[in-house]
Amino acid sequence: MVELHHRSGGVTILQAFLANHPRAQISDWDSQTFQPVKRQVKQALHEDQQGLCIYCERKIDATDGQIDHIKPKSGPHADPYLCFIYTNHAHSCINNKTCGQKKKHGLLPIEPGPGCNRQWTLSTDGAVEPVAGLTRHQKHGVTQTRGMLGLNADARLVDERQKWLTSSIEVLKASPEDITAFLQDSPFRHILATVL
């Protein structure tokens, strides 16, 4: 999962929209008026996430995917007050087996942000697993988050992570001083960092 640091100050066009529409409702999220704002918010998130899907860490184009509400804007765990708050937004790929599409209106026990990868790691076969030594409660949070996002449900995703892990280990063995540069442009760089 991307250890997301939202830009300070948010997105100017979003702030302007909220100033001009102080009573914006969830229904305004998909309105024609909001579409230009949404495009710029998605672009800002894409930059903040360095071109990776917030949840699976696959590379994603700026115009692809969707803006996911980390805390849902609707459903049983809805927090409608966070609907237009930039720090509750993330850029997610669209895949019905994983990520925001799989999460739907769920409330994640582990959310993307600084330190979000402390409780899990990558196994040699590319699966996301809890780290050793967790309490039962912490392990449950890891397995619940992993399941809600389908992080091990898509065999192609698991295989891709395994290949990048193998490549990373090869770089580390052959040229340890190059591993940082290698990871900077790699998908899965946040989960790979839990192993390397």
| Span 179-195, pLDDT tens digits | 999 999 999 999 999 99
pLDDT tens-digit map of 18-62: 999 999 999 999 999 999 999 999 999 999 999 999 999 999 999
Q: Is residue 2 part of a domain?
A: no
Whether residue 3 is contained in a domain is answered as no
Q: At 8, is the secondary structure helix, strand, or coil?
A: coil
User: 56: helix, coil or strand?
Assistant: coil
Tens of pLDDT along 129-163?
999 999 999 999 999 999 999 999 999 999 999 99
Q: Coil, strand, or helix at residue 88?
A: helix
Domain range for 33: 12-192
Would residue 156 count as lying in a domain? yes
The sign one gets for the Cα dihedral 36, 38, 41, 43 is negative
Q: pTM for the whole thing?
A: 0.95
What tens digit of pLDDT does each residue of 77-88 get?
999 999 999 999
Residue 4 lies in a domain: no
Query: Does residue 7 lie within any of the structural domains?
Result: no
Phi-psi group of 100: left, alpha or beta (phi > 0 → left; psi -120 to 50 → alpha; rest → beta): alpha
- Whether 5 is covered by a domain: the verdict is no
Confidence of residue 111 (pLDDT cuts 50, 70, 90): very high
What is the number of domains present in the chain? Answer: 1
Q: Which residue type does 146 have?
A: R
The answer to whether residue 1 is domain-embedded is no
| Band (2; pLDDT cuts 50, 70, 90) | very high
Report in angstroms the alpha-carbon separations of 108 from 97, 98, 101, 145, 152.
16, 13, 13, 6, 16
Contacts of 155 (CB under 8 A, 6+ apart): none
The mean pLDDT value of the chain amounts to 96
H or E element at residue 90: strand 89-92
Domain contains 181: yes
Q: What's the pLDDT band for 68 if we cut at 50, 70, 90?
A: very high
